[in-house]
């Protein structure tokens, strides 16, 4: 596993050198801090747990931001090396192709994890200094950070797959943007249109649950909106009879599946790729 660790370390060092880690951490930290300041303002009148409010708000914005960052970080991981001519040099060393894919994935996922933990954690610490936070709210916030790392890793895997399937960076960038649009915006829009047109005749509650699991952004959203009682209350999910149909464990399993499946497809595709 030494080649995998070496390649992953090189990706992290490249992220530090290119300011990816710093920029992503500052962006996520500023976003979280702004929501902390806004989310804690109304707690005196409505009695809401400020951290649970922040979890709901931050999860909603993370769905749009973190997948885009992950795709921008990973879309040229292989095709960029190929265009620069360094991929042939890398493969001339005693390293298997799967080790190249896994090493790059782990390094880029680590950048997402570092930025998420530091950026979101710093904002939560700032809130804890001035406000008393319940243990349940801390558990929900930890779950939000962990699921955010999984969401970012899923889109890193999707970006890596896109980078392997094409031969030009511009094409990979187009695929990455298309993937972001599809999973974050178009999928739910199309699903809503189908539900309105179907009127519950074919798309039952069970079918809808399955369809939601086919989108990592939906699995992430549902997990953070229903994982704790406070989050379900403030997100408006507590009053829905079917809100708890998909368990937190199943939703996390779906997110993990979205990490593993694109990564396996990327490994298989890279084995057959002509360099």
CA distance from start to end of the chain: 24
Cα–Cα distance between 86 and 78 in angstroms, integer?
Answer: 10
CB 114 within 8 A of CB 9: no
HSE-up of 15 (CA within 13 Å, CB side)?
30
The set of residues, in sequence order, having a beta carbon less than 8 Å from that of 43 and lying 6+ positions away, is 49, 50, 53, 131
Q: Give me the residue spans of the domains in the chain.
A: 2-272
For the ranges 189-193, 204-208, 223-227, the one whose mean pLDDT is highest: 189-193
Average pLDDT of 131-144?
A: 80
> Across residues 216-225, what is the average pLDDT?
91
Cβ–Cβ under 8 Å, residues 107 and 11: yes
The pLDDT tens digits for 240-266 are 444 447 888 899 999 999 999 999 999
**Length of the chain (residues):** 275
- The CA distance from 272 to 275, in Å, is 9
pLDDT at 230: 52
Q: Binning pLDDT at 50, 70 and 90, where does residue 231 land?
A: low
- C-alpha–C-alpha distance, residues 8 and 100, integer Å: 9
Are residues 124 and 36 in contact, defined by beta-carbon separation less than 8 angstroms?
A: yes
Q: Is the pLDDT of residue 44 over 50?
A: no
Can you tell me the distance from the alpha carbon of 178 to that of 135, in angstroms, rounded to the nearest whole number?
Answer: 40
Instruction: State pLDDT tens for residues 80-100.
Output: 999 888 998 888 888 999 999
- Rounded distance between C-alpha atoms, residue 63 and residue 30, angstroms: 16
Phi/psi region, residue 236 (left: phi>0; alpha: psi -120 to 50; beta: rest), is left
pTM of the model: 0.89
Q: What is the pLDDT of residue 48?
A: 56
Asked if 100 contacts 270 with a C-beta cutoff of 8 angstroms, the reply is yes
Tell me the C-alpha distance between 143 and 252, whole Å.
10
């Amino acid at each position: 596993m030494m080649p995998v660790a070496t390649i992953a370390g090189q990706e992290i060092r490249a992220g530090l050198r290119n300011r990816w880690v710093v920029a992503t951490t500052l962006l996520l930290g500023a976003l979280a801090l702004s929501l902390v300041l806004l989310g804690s303002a109304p707690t005196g009148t409505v009695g809401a747990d400020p951290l649970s409010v922040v979890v709901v708000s931050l999860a909603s914005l993370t769905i749009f931001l973190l997948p885009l960052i992950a795709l921008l970080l990973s879309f040229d991981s292989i095709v960029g090396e190929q265009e620069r001519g360094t991929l042939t040099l890398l493969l001339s060393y005693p390293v298997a192709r799967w080790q190249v894919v896994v090493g790059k994935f782990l390094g880029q996922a680590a950048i997402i994890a570092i930025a998420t933990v530091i950026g979101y954690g710093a904002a939560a610490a700032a809130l804890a200094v001035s406000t008393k936070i319940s243990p349940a709210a801390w558990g929900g916030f930890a779950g939000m950070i962990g699921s955010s790392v999984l969401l970012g890793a899923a889109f890193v895997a999707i970006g890596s797959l896109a980078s392997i399937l094409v031969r030009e960076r511009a094409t990979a960038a187009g695929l990455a943007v298309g993937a972001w649009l599809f999973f974050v915006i178009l999928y739910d829009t199309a699903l809503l249109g189908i539900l309105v047109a179907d009127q519950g005749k074919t798309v039952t509650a069970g079918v809808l649950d399955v369809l939601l699991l086919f989108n990592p952004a939906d699995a992430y959203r549902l997990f953070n909106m229903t994982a704790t009682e406070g989050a379900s209350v403030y997100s408006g999910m507590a009053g829905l009879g079917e809100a708890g149909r998909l368990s937190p464990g199943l939703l996390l399993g779906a997110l993990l599946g979205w990490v593993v499946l694109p990564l396996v497809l990327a490994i298989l595709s890279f084995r057959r790729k002509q360099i």
